[in-house]
């Protein structure tokens, strides 16, 4: 039967399932993160672009995250919906969610592309692109071509978790990997050989995104567990609302990150102008370029953390839908321990090797002010990586369990209340260092709340397991004649 295609999610060992689903998801997200990171590495090492190009890349990066936020809201929501539906043996609902998600992604991506093209100058200024004229010029060139690729980027990103939910995480990984490899191969050709500058970096990225989107289209025509038909493409309000509600945490997590980056970029521009060194025009772009680089390393680490958690969404959703709470608890424990380990390794790297990290992004071509600020930024901004990884996994796991309200609330507190709030307030007292301290302070306070939710989740899973066991025992108790 069609609905039994994913029954192994409720039967195979949890550790084996986690490895099968999480590893390809991690690689997919890492590959997706490499698009912007690879651009920045090649831009930074091109002498005719340097820190101006780096700063421009930092300005545009949040705007690609907006597109990603919409895409993952649809994709992760559909992934959770499909997994829960299959666990409850409701394949028709799963098919309808996939069909509606495809249509929704296409419509919203075209709308966002149009907004970006029409209001590009104002949007760039909003995200700190006016730090100096040269940075604005590079940002405008890069943003124009990135905007043209938004529909392809969003489609590939949205369909990736849908492909995982269908039971093929390896193909999801392959589609992302193909696009990233094209980007890596074309970046040096366009930037160093053709000397197309920011346009070349953007063109390489868009070509890779087109390849990923094309592979996603092919897979949708050959799905396994879920095979939507033409009728499933017809918009259904109930299905769309449920899908988007399950993906809302992913959306808010990303979109709030955009708000935090906008606040950080503008605080850097404001308080950098008051700094004795960075107040000089020839150095004004350095803090923005450096913080952008630090964020890119954070993106690599958090891609691993999110990949581990997001890879578990189909497993959690299916087992929750099937009432297998003991397996869900086991998975939660393994995930939290793994996330803490990832954060610990990342912490050691940024504290011990900050100079080596910044050298990858063209430090040799810059002044000593660039390197010194970068070392301080790495060590302060990312000093609470363990908490950051655990917090992210908690957001996503709660989402996968169908706890959209708790997950969304925790995500909003971290990214908006703490992330934006401290980025605006702390620089008033500590200047540029206040921007750097906003990240660890936010993660510490968020972990306090996340810890309480983790304890509550364990208790709920234990209670549900006991209730289920008691129900089984009652059903099998011999009745008296």
Q: Which pLDDT belongs to residue 362?
A: 67
pLDDT value at 472 more than 80: no
Rg (CA), the chain: 23
- CB neighbours (10 Å) of residue 13? 10
Q: Which residue has the higher pLDDT, 470 or 162?
A: 162
Give Cβ neighbours of residue 443 (< 8 Å, ≥ 6 apart).
384, 387, 388, 391, 414
Per-residue pLDDT of 208-233, as tens digits, reads 999 999 999 999 999 988 889 899 99
pLDDT, position 481: 43
Q: Give tens-digit pLDDT for 304-324.
A: 998 899 888 888 878 887 888
CA angle 133, 41, 281 (to 5 degrees): 25
**pLDDT of 15:** 85
Identify the residue with better confidence: 249 or 230. 230
Q: What is the pLDDT of residue 173?
A: 85
C-beta atoms surrounding 274 within 10 Å: 11
Which of 125-129, 205-209, 346-350 is the least confident region? 125-129
CA–CA dist 113, 121 (Å, integer): 14
For the whole model, what pTM was predicted? 0.75
Encode pLDDT of 403-436 as tens digits.
878 887 888 898 889 989 999 999 999 988 999 9
Mean pLDDT, residues 144-165 taken together: 94
* CA-based torsion, 429, 435, 436, 437: positive or negative: positive
Residue ranges covered by each domain of the chain: 12-469
CA 166/CA 228 separation, integer angstroms = 11
> Cα dihedral sign for 45, 50, 56, 58?
positive
Whole-number percent of the chain with pLDDT over 70: 94
Q: What's the whole-number mean pLDDT along residues 361-372?
A: 77
pLDDT (mean) for 376-389: 94
């Amino acid at each position: 039967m069609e609905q039994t295609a994913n029954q192994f999610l409720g039967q195979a060992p949890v550790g084996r399932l986690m490895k099968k689903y999480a590893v390809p998801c991690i690689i997919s997200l890492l590959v997706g993160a490499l698009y912007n990171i690879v651009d920045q590495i090649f831009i930074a090492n091109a002498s005719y672009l340097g820190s101006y190009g780096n700063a421009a890349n930092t300005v545009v990066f949040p705007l690609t995250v907006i597109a990603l936020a919409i895409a993952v809201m649809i994709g992760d929501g559909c992934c959770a919906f499909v997994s829960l539906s299959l666990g409850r043996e409701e394949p028709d609902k799963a098919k309808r969610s996939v069909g509606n998600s495809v249509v929704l992604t296409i419509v919203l991506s075209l709308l966002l592309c149009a907004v970006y093209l029409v209001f590009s100058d104002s949007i760039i200024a909003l995200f700190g692109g006016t730090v100096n004229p040269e940075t604005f010029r590079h940002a405008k060139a890069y943003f124009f071509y990135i905007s043209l690729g938004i529909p392809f980027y969003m489609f590939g990103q949205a369909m990736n978790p849908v492909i995982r939910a269908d039971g093929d995480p390896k193909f999801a990984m392959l589609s992302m990997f193909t696009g990233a490899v094209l980007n890596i191969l074309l970046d040096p050709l366009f930037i160093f050989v053709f000397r197309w500058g920011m346009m070349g970096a953007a063109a390489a990225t868009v070509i890779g995104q087109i390849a990923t989107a094309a592979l996603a289209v092919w897979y949708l025509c050959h799905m396994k567990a879920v095979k939507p038909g033409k009728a499933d493409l017809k918009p259904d309000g109930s299905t769309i609302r449920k899908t988007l509600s399950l993906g809302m945490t992913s959306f808010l997590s990303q979109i709030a990150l955009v708000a935090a980056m906008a606040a950080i970029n503008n605080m850097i521009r404001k308080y950098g102008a008051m700094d004795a060194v960075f107040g000089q025009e020839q150095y004004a772009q350095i803090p923005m370029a450096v913080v952008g680089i630090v964020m890119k390393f954070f993106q690599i680490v958090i891609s691993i953390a999110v990949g581990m958690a997001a890879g578990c969404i189909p497993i959690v959703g299916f087992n929750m839908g099937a009432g297998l709470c003991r397996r869900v608890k086991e998975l939660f424990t393994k995930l939290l321990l793994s996330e803490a380990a990832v954060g610990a390794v990342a912490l050691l790297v940024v504290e011990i090797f900050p100079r080596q990290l910044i050298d990858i992004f063209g430090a040799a071509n810059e002044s000593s002010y660039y390197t010194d600020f970068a070392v301080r930024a790495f060590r302060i901004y990312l000093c609470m990586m363990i908490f950051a990884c655990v917090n992210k996994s908690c957001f996503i796991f709660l989402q996968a369990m169908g706890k959209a309200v708790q997950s969304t609330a925790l995500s909003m507190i971290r990214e908006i209340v703490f992330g934006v709030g401290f980025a605006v307030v702390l620089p008033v007292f500590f200047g540029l260092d206040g921007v750097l301290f906003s990240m660890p302070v936010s993660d510490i306070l968020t972990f306090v709340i996340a810890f309480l939710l983790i304890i509550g989740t364990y208790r709920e899973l234990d209670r549900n397991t006991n209730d289920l066991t008691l129900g089984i025992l009652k059903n099998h108790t011999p009745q008296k004649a």
